[in-house]
Structure 1
Amino acid sequence: MSPSSEMIPTTDAIAIAKLLGEVAGLDADTPSRKRLLMRRLGELTGADGWLWSITYSDHSRNQPISVGVIHEGLTEEQFGGWVEASQVASPPPPEDAPLTQELIKGEHTTRTRDQLVSDADWYSNPTIQKYRIERGIDDFLYSLYPLGSNTSCSAIGLFRHVGRDRFSPRDRRLAHIILSNVEWIHSAGLPGIEQQSIPKLTPTQRIVLVHLLDGKRRSEIAQMLGIAETTAKDHTRAILRHFDVTDQLALVCKFQTGNGRDERSDRPI
């Protein structure tokens, strides 16, 4: 029997069933159910932090572009580093190209860091050293769930602090099984936005967009990015015009408006 076909232990199967039942039975909005799901998944896999985003692929640059991110367990510095590294760092994070290639396949895929990037390439990469290692974040596990095309997905990342062991094949298996069985939560709350709208923003505007959707004020964004507040305001105004909304609340609503499935009383597990 190959490793991929081996059955998980009964204790893990029971834990998965309990987790899915708890999330499906929670009477709350989509972000709250995602947070509960990820907290429980983090407990099962020993993750120190996590994030969940809608991700589009820029095939021309082999770069995933993530927006609408919710996260827990990451400090503001760690989360900011993750966002900046994915948009403006040079060289780009070494996982970007292989993750984009996985996304293009249009299949649900779950990968640990060692499956995507060798230790040598990971620890020698200056972007990883600056934006991840120096900020206390090292190993990761990513799961990409396609959203009806090979250019967009529901992307989940689990992270461990520097000095901890890497995620194991068991962690990867548990994450994949769990995230394969919540199709209703992947598709709920999708933004009504043309996917090509995101790549048209500048890299800095994409960073500002993520922070706006995370609830940050323009003064906070300016401080985090080391730019003048007037510059942050200019980027914000450009983003609001781009998405044809009048303020930050309307922008958030545009990215978090559900398709009604999160209101069903007979949510499947």
Structure 2
Amino acid sequence: MSDPIRQPDSGNATISQEDAVRLVELLAQTSTYEGDHLAKKRFLLDGLCRLVDATQWSWAINVFDEDCKPHHAGALQGGFSLEQAECLATCVNHPATHRVFAPTYQRIFTQPEPLTIRMEDHAGAAEWEKSEASALAAAAGIGTFVSSICAVEDHGSSTVTLFRPYGEPPFTDRQRDMLHIIIRGVPWLHTAGWPEDARVHQIAELPTSHMVLLTLLVKGYSRQDIADVRLLSINTVNTYTQRIFKMFGVRSQPELMRCFLEGQPEPANDGTDSS
């Protein structure tokens, strides 16, 4: 029986020779793709989705408070509508999500390497499927997922997740291993763009309603769009936005986005050079 959680030193990957060729091609294309680390990250994750039959992806920044409770700010995503992006931001900051996935997040701080795990392989998967957070995701058409989770700094983590629509079958061992191999080939997928600004750690102080708004602002959605999808008045959204700006010491949405998205670029050797 295969290990449900992949780690970089685990062997016996389930991929075929054809899979390996396609992964190498994707890595090579990414290494020559013109653009900054954010553009390369989007290109790589779009390509990986095609290889493993995923329809959506996200890269999230997680900061842990003193009780090891994660606070998620989704930095990048692909394939989500505004409604789905709002739902995902709500779900990942839901108490049920914190409770169910806490053992996995605690585990990453006991080892230096990333974990690659499918939704069904989390210890609390059965509880998650019965939770309000899971029901919210299902209502928005967001289904099963596979994630790579990597500890960054002392109290943070990066999570790269691929999704399928609700009702689609789980990712296979083979598809999980393909994500795992990509992470090994381009470790900057987790670390490139990680915010260097210490103010980012303040997300642990935000209430859930503000966390969802922060995530949507960082993704570039307008205040009016956010008001519409959150069923809030524009005045309420403006008030919350100004509180967020004040907390992070910024004066505009573009400045807030730079605070979260302009981090350390990927190294010159992106992992595809075998020399």
Given that residues 60 and 74 in structure 2 are in contact (C-alpha distance below 8 angstroms), is that contact kept between their aligned partners in structure 1? yes
Given that residues 57 and 79 in structure 2 are in contact (C-alpha distance below 8 angstroms), is that contact kept between their aligned partners in structure 1? yes
Q: Match of 2:193? A: 189
Q: Distance in 2 between matches of 1:113 and 1:26?
A: 31
Q: Match of 2:240? A: 235
Shift of 1:169: 0.8
Q: Distance in 1 between matches of 2:2 and 2:238?
A: 55
Shift of 1:108: 0.4
Shift of 1:138: 1.7
Q: Match of 2:6? A: none
Q: Distance in 2 between matches of 1:258 and 1:162?
A: 33
Q: Distance in 1 between matches of 2:254 and 2:201?
A: 22
SS of equivalent residue, structure 2 residue 194: coil
Given that residues 94 and 117 in structure 1 are in contact (C-alpha distance below 8 angstroms), is that contact kept between their aligned partners in structure 2? no
CA distances 1:209-260 after superposition (whole Å, capped 9, x unpaired): 1111111111111122122211111111111111111111111112222435
User: Which of 136, 145, 152 is the equivalent residue of 2:141?
Assistant: 136
User: Are the structure 2 counterparts of residues 93 and 45 from structure 1 closer, same or farther at C-alpha, using a change threshold of 3 Å?
Assistant: farther
CA-atom RMSD in angstroms = 2.3
Q: TM-score, normalised by structure 2?
A: 0.86
Q: Distance in 2 between matches of 1:12 and 1:59?
A: 42
User: Which of 64, 76, 82 is the equivalent residue of 1:57?
Assistant: 64
User: Are the structure 2 counterparts of residues 221 and 82 from structure 1 closer, same or farther at C-alpha, using a change threshold of 3 Å?
Assistant: same
User: Are the structure 2 counterparts of residues 136 and 94 from structure 1 closer, same or farther at C-alpha, using a change threshold of 3 Å?
Assistant: farther
Given that residues 57 and 100 in structure 1 are in contact (C-alpha distance below 8 angstroms), is that contact kept between their aligned partners in structure 2? no
Q: Distance in 2 between matches of 1:135 and 1:143?
A: 23
Give the 5 Å matches for 1:244-263: 244-261=249-266
- The farther-off stretch of 166-175 and 190-199 is 190-199
User: Are the structure 2 counterparts of residues 209 and 47 from structure 1 closer, same or farther at C-alpha, using a change threshold of 3 Å?
Assistant: same
Given that residues 63 and 96 in structure 1 are in contact (C-alpha distance below 8 angstroms), is that contact kept between their aligned partners in structure 2? no
Q: Distance in 2 between matches of 1:68 and 1:92?
A: 15
Do structure 1's residue 176 and structure 2's residue 180 form an aligned pair?
Answer: yes
Q: Distance in 2 between matches of 1:231 and 1:247?
A: 17
Do structure 1's residue 112 and structure 2's residue 121 form an aligned pair?
Answer: no
Q: Distance in 1 between matches of 2:128 and 2:262?
A: 37
User: Are the structure 2 counterparts of residues 159 and 76 from structure 1 closer, same or farther at C-alpha, using a change threshold of 3 Å?
Assistant: same
Q: Match of 1:121? A: 127
- The farther-off stretch of 8-17 and 186-195 is 186-195
Q: Percent identity?
A: 26
Given that residues 42 and 50 in structure 1 are in contact (C-alpha distance below 8 angstroms), is that contact kept between their aligned partners in structure 2? yes
SS of equivalent residue, structure 2 residue 205: coil
Q: Match of 1:18? A: 25
User: Are the structure 2 counterparts of residues 132 and 2 from structure 1 closer, same or farther at C-alpha, using a change threshold of 3 Å?
Assistant: closer
SS of equivalent residue, structure 1 residue 5: coil
Q: Match of 1:161? A: 165
Do structure 1's residue 34 and structure 2's residue 41 form an aligned pair?
Answer: yes
User: Which of 3, 6, 11 is the equivalent residue of 2:12?
Assistant: 6
Q: Distance in 1 between matches of 2:266 and 2:160?
A: 20
- The farther-off stretch of 251-260 and 137-146 is 251-260
Given that residues 96 and 128 in structure 2 are in contact (C-alpha distance below 8 angstroms), is that contact kept between their aligned partners in structure 1? no
Shift of 1:28: 0.3
Given that residues 114 and 148 in structure 2 are in contact (C-alpha distance below 8 angstroms), is that contact kept between their aligned partners in structure 1? yes
